[in-house]
Amino acid sequence: MSTITHRQRLEICLSGEKPDRPPVALWRHFPVDDQTPEGLAAATLNFQHLYDFDFVKVTPASSFCLLDWGSRDEWRGAAEGTRAYTYRVIRQPEDWTRLQAVDPARGSLGAQLKCLSIIEAELGPNTPIIQTIFSPLAQAKNLVGGEQLLVHMRRYPQALHEGLKSITATTQRFVEAALETGIAGVFYAIQHAQYSLLSEGEFAAFCLPYELQVLDAVRAAPGAWFNLLHLHGQEVMFEQVLDFPVQAINWHDRETAPSLAEGMTRFPGVVCGGLRRHESMVLGTPESVAEEAEDAIQATNGERFILGTGCVTPTIAPHANILAARQSVETTH
């Protein structure tokens, strides 16, 4: 059994050297449990104690960063563990101009900081913890609804920009407070870097400036040494994020270009992925999961690589399949 810690293994991987084995981590939602900081912390810790992943990605409901503005949602049984929004804060374009930055130490944001502190106290410095951060435009989508966001973007751009400024300011403050709890960094989720949603010009205008402002706050924090960028969806704008100040990138590599091997040639840091969420983790067998993991390890030579799924592991993924993913990296490569 290896004597190096999860943190040491991840640091070796991030340095470009080949660790004793590839790091591995899966993450998931914890519906119902995620409605209190203690509940989410306990569920996250139980998951980690069961599988012993190389880092812990804390996954609150997407509404955690919106409830203090008045958003409401409820649990309706989605397989991914996500909640359905029942009330949108932004009803008219002018509502964006009324959105004000909120205090990250209070309300739902403050509760998430408490959750991080509980997890950090339990796991200590040898198991890296990263907090999910949704990009400002992703938060805006949930404040108004996906279709309406595109309408406001194209018909009322100035109003949307005003809202994005308030969202960005709040997100920056929350990031700073989260990193003060001692976590290793953030899981930065971008949902609109998809050609099916935005043009490159729209991405440059409504995403890029705000993404970089948030990531600048991350980069300025002395303890943020492991930051993982997540590109959500299909036909992603991979080229547009290659110079983002992050150490690793995660995308649906089994479902959309580029492949892991190609991504490694374009992105100088670490790539994370290799496992299909539904076809493998939910519908597969332990044997097929292990084969897919082995294929990903061979494609990357086990260097600058973290084994994971392209996005959250569904809550209905069998224990045997998750265990197979975790054990797959233990074989000498």
Answer whether residue 333 is part of any domain.
Answer: no
Residue 324 inside a domain? The answer is yes
Token output for 155: 């018909």
Answer yes or no: is 154 within a domain: yes
- 75 lies in a domain? yes
* CATH number for the domain harbouring residue 222: 3.20.20.210
pTM of this prediction? 0.98
Tokens of 213: 């402002």
- Under-50 pLDDT residues of the chain: none
Print the domain residue range for 46.
Answer: 6-328
Q: What is the pLDDT of residue 213?
A: 98
Q: What is the pLDDT of residues 98-147, one digit of tens each?
A: 999 999 999 999 999 999 999 999 999 999 999 999 999 999 999 999 99
Q: Per residue in 201-245, pLDDT tens?
A: 999 999 999 999 999 999 999 999 999 999 999 999 999 999 999
Strand 72-74 versus strand 84-87 pairing type: antiparallel
Q: Tell whether 1 is covered by a domain.
A: no
- Examine residue 24 and state whether it is found in any structural domain, yes or no: yes
The answer to whether residue 172 is domain-embedded is yes
Our count of domains for the chain comes to 1
Is residue 320, in this structure, part of any structural domain at all? Answer: yes
pLDDT, position 331: 82
d(CA 76, CA 268): 40
Kindly give, in sequence order, each residue whose CB lies less than 8 Å from that of residue 199, ignoring residues fewer than 6 positions away: none
